[in-house]
A = this chain, B = another copy of it.
């Protein structure tokens, strides 16, 4: 078994080529994964390939009827419209189990992107700041400074100072190694606490991504998730807070 294995679900790869790839793998707050899983569902994207790897954890997943499967990442395709180009998505279960494996896997994804004619990659993720963030900013990192104006206009922050410590894993490697494959790359990282799966941060990332890609998709589910989370967090915060001044009026 090779370290990285690609299984195609379509006969004619060229019929599913797309200039734009959007990657959202598991990571901080599952911010990127939530966005990409949402878009695949809302746009009824079609699965075109599956990637398994000996660099993934040796942990098998249960599906319907308890059918067992390998951990996997998947490639989905959605055709273009008048408004926007065709898009492929990279989504799935996991990242590498080792430092070195991150490089090998990123090269594996890029070989698939090459076959599909990808010209630009968006990688989506979260940036943990260690506190709850009501209005998360979206930080960006670029394959080239020529992308700066476009990203700023879409509402993201472009700063050499943030994310502090750079970007770890596929969200960063697809941009840097993608450049060596002749692909433009834009990483979009939503601020998030780092403690919770965070659909609020995902919504902020999706806002920026939609402006950049002209993707439009019903986002009822993601919005519901985000509102539910905000309600729960508010309830927890409320329970932990002291009574307000009014409640203490008897003191006077």
Contacts and interface: CB of A to CB of B under 8 A. Distances in A.
Interface of A: 1, 54-55, 57-70, 96-104, 107, 139-145, 148, 158-163, 165-169, 172-173, 175-177, 185, 187
B142 A68 contact: yes
A235 to B, nearest CB: 26
Contacts of A70: 176-177
Given A98-B99, A98-B100, A99-B98, A148 B66 contact: yes
Instruction: State the oligomeric state as a number of copies.
Output: 4
B140 A172 contact: no
Given A59-B172, A60-B167, A104-B54, A65 B98 contact: no
Nearest to A140: B66
Given A59-B165, A66-B141, 8 more contacts: A1-B104, A57-B168, A58-B96, A58-B169, A64-B160, A65-B145, A68-B172, A98-B100
